[in-house]
């Protein structure tokens, strides 16, 4: 008999079909991956629920699907066929994205093709729109994803006309279109340039100067770009630079490296930095906070969840060490290894990328002397680590070679001032110079 395979619970409102792995007529085995879906921050492999012969697809590459939608038809045999037809395939594995701590769910409903407006450019999306002159709030017909987008952009949904969805339901396109229209009405800015805030000059015709190649970006890369653009517009950011003398810390790492390796673990400087930062965030909780939307309150978090940026073939992803302040160094090293491997192999669960309260981005394995990481809103700070190098340091009587680790702390200047940032990096450098202080 034939069964219709349904889309399982994705953990997000919807996802896009990016790859179909089998063709009609092929034999499939239970748990064999048959399709790959991609949401804003994760890719999911969907397995076959039973052994059988693949009959047909109910979707195509590029189709947006949600839980319960028909995925495909498989011809199976045996007593379990009827039972298999009743339950959707289970997602076998999932993969993250970029860093953000702050990704948007995929649109849960589609507008009619004839009514769908053009997608606004990335630069148009992140702006915060004032709603002081809008009508008083009233009941609106919109889903959770649309309401969340409206909150992030500062839009009162009551100010929007009826949406393009069924029965006037508001969609994300309606919010983006309204924001773009308000920006186009804003006073000209930029020192008399005549350009309205949020507008970009026309894109040049690059082919006039030679051949070009268009390379599509993954959904993860696109959403990361949107989040970073939003953060750069919303958050007044400053970066504090410092150096940490990690000569003794590196010596300690080398003495413990083989013990960790014997257990299949890798003791990296990032793990040691994460342990130190988790401790320091308890001392200086304003760096582990968020600013409320109205700017009247500071949300002080009673947990320390560290986002750790990971470079992967699919782009930058930021898995999260939840409750890092409660972990031992060995637990941090173990969890970092698991999350990094899941991110690089395409099996990182969406839940592993959510809830970060502070982020660490390390480029030490690549190089560089310093950089300016962007704060991952709604976090208020991010720490960048560059490659450590030896430098002569005066000890009071002579110069001696010391291993120096460059620190780059970017922070939200609305929450953290320069003095606090300098105290943070100074204290962090002191802790890393003598990690035994974490025992006090």
Domain boundary among 203, 234, 265: 234
Specify burial of residue 327 (Cβ count, 10 A radius: 0-12, 13-18, 19+): buried
Burial 351-372 (b: 16+ CB within 10 A, else e): ebbbebbbbbbbbbeeeeeeee
Output the six-digit token pair for 201: 């000059």
Q: pLDDT of 88-142, one tens digit each?
A: 444 444 433 333 333 344 344 444 444 444 444 444 444 444 443 333 445 567 7
Give the DSSP per-residue string, 169-238: -B-HHHHHHHHHHHHHTSPEESSS--EETT--PPPP-GGGGS-----PPPHHHHHHHHHHHHHHHHS-EE
Residue 209's pLDDT band (boundaries 50, 70, 90)?
A: very high
Percent with pLDDT over 70 in the chain: 79
Q: Does some domain include residue 205?
A: no
* Residue 212 forms part of a structural domain: no
User: Which pLDDT belongs to residue 185?
Assistant: 54
Question: In this predicted model, what pLDDT tens digit does every residue of 235-249 receive, in sequence order?
Answer: 899 999 999 999 999
Domain-embedded: residue 391:
yes
Q: Are residues 131 and 230 in the same domain?
A: yes
The CATH number linked to 149 is: 4.10.320.10
User: Per the structure block, which two tokens stand in for 107?
Assistant: 């649109």
**For the domain that residue 267 is a member of, what is the CATH number?**
3.30.559.10
**9 shares its domain with 90:** yes
Determine whether 413 is an active site residue: yes
User: Are 143 and 80 in the same domain?
Assistant: no
Q: Across 111-125, 208-222, 347-361, which has the greatest mean pLDDT?
A: 347-361
Beta bridge partner(s), residue 389: 404
375 with 385, same domain? yes
Residues 375 and 388 in one domain: yes
Same domain membership, residue 158 and residue 62: no
pLDDT at 231: 81
- Quick check: is 423 in a domain? yes
Task: Say if residue 354 is in the same domain as residue 420.
Answer: yes
Report whether pLDDT(192) > 60.
Answer: no
The answer to whether position 194 is within a domain reads no
My answer on whether 311 and 169 are in the same domain is no
Q: At residue 148, does pLDDT exceed 50?
A: yes
Cis peptide before 378 (omega within 30 of 0): yes
**End residue of a domain, out of 199, 234, 269:** 234
Model pTM score? 0.59
Q: How far apart are CA 383 and CA 308, in angstroms?
A: 10
Show the domain range for 62: 2-95
Number of domains, the chain: 3
Q: Has residue 197 been placed in a domain?
A: no
Residue 193 within a domain: no
How far is Cα 210 from Cα 166, in angstroms, rounded to an integer? Answer: 47
pLDDT tens profile 319-344: 999 999 999 999 999 999 999 988 88
Same structural domain, 417 and 386: yes
119-130 burial, b for 16+ CB within 10 Å, e for fewer?
Answer: ebebebbbbebe
201 part of a folded domain: no
CATH code of residue 51? 2.40.50.100
Q: Does 252 lie in the same domain as 226?
A: no
* pLDDT for residue 408: 96
Tell me: the pLDDT tens digits for 402-423?
999 999 999 999 999 999 999 9
Percent of all residues in the chain with a pLDDT value above 90, rounded to a whole number: 40
From the CB of residue 396, how many other CB atoms can be counted at a distance below 10 Å? 4
Res 154 pLDDT > 80: no
**DSSP conformation class of 123:** G
Q: How far apart are CA 374 and CA 365, in angstroms?
A: 19
Measure the CA–CA gap between 326 and 90, rounded to whole angstroms. 32
In terms of domains, do 75 and 127 share one?
Answer: no
Highest mean pLDDT among 13-27, 50-64, 267-281, 355-369: 267-281
Q: How many of the other CB atoms lie within 10 Å of CB of 312?
A: 19
Q: Are residues 74 and 104 in the same domain?
A: no
């Amino acid at each position: 008999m034939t069964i219709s395979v349904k889309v399982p619970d994705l953990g997000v409102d919807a996802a896009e079909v990016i790859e179909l792995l089998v063709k009609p007529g092929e034999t499939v085995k239970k748990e064999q991956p048959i399709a790959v879906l991609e949401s804003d921050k994760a890719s999911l492999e969907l397995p076959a629920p039973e052994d059988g012969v693949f009959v047909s697809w109910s979707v195509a590459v590029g189709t947006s699907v949600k839980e319960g939608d028909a995925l495909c038809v498989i011809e199976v045999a045996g007593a379990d066929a009827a039972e298999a037809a009743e339950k959707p395939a289970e997602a076998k594995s999932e993969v993250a994205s970029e860093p953000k701590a702050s990704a948007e769910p995929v649109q849960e409903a589609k507008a009619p093709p004839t009514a769908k407006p053009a997608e606004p450019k990335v630069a148009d999306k992140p702006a915060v729109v004032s709603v002081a002159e809008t009508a008083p709030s009233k009941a609106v017909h919109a889903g959770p994803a649309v309401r969340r987008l409206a909150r992030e952009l500062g839009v009162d949904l009551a100010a929007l006309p009826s949406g393009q969805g069924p029965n006037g339901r508001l969609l994300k396109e309606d919010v983006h279109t309204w924001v773009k229209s308000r920006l186009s009405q804003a006073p000209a800015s930029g020192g008399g340039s005549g350009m309205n805030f949020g507008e970009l000059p026309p894109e040049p015709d690059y082919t006039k100067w030679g051949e070009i190649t268009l390379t599509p970006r993954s959904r993860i890369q696109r959403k990361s770009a949107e989040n970073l653009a939003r953060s750069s517009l919303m958050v007044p950011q400053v970066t504090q630079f410092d150096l940490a003398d990690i000569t003794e810390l590196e010596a300690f790492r080398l003495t413990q490296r083989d013990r960790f390796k014997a257990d299949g673990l890798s003791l990296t400087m990032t793990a040691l930095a994460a342990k130190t930062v988790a401790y320091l965030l308890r001392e200086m909780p304003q760096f582990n906070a968020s600013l409320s939307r109205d700017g009247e309150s500071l949300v002080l978090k009673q947990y320390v969840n560290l986002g750790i940026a990971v470079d992967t073939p699919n782009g930058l992803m930021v898995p999260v060490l939840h409750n890092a302040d409660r972990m031992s160094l060995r637990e941090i090293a173990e969890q970092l290894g698991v999350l990094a491997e899941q991110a690089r192999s395409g099996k990182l669960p969406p839940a592993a990328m959510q809830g970060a309260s502070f982020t660490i981005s390390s480029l030490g394995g690549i190089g560089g002397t310093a950089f300016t990481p962007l704060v991952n809103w709604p976090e208020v700070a991010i720490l960048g680590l560059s490659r450590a190098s030896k430098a002569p340091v005066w000890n009071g009587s002579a110069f001696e070679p010391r291993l120096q680790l460059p620190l780059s702390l970017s922070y939200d200047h609305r929450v953290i001032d320069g003095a606090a940032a300098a105290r943070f990096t100074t204290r962090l450098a002191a802790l890393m110079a003598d990690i035994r202080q974490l025992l006090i």
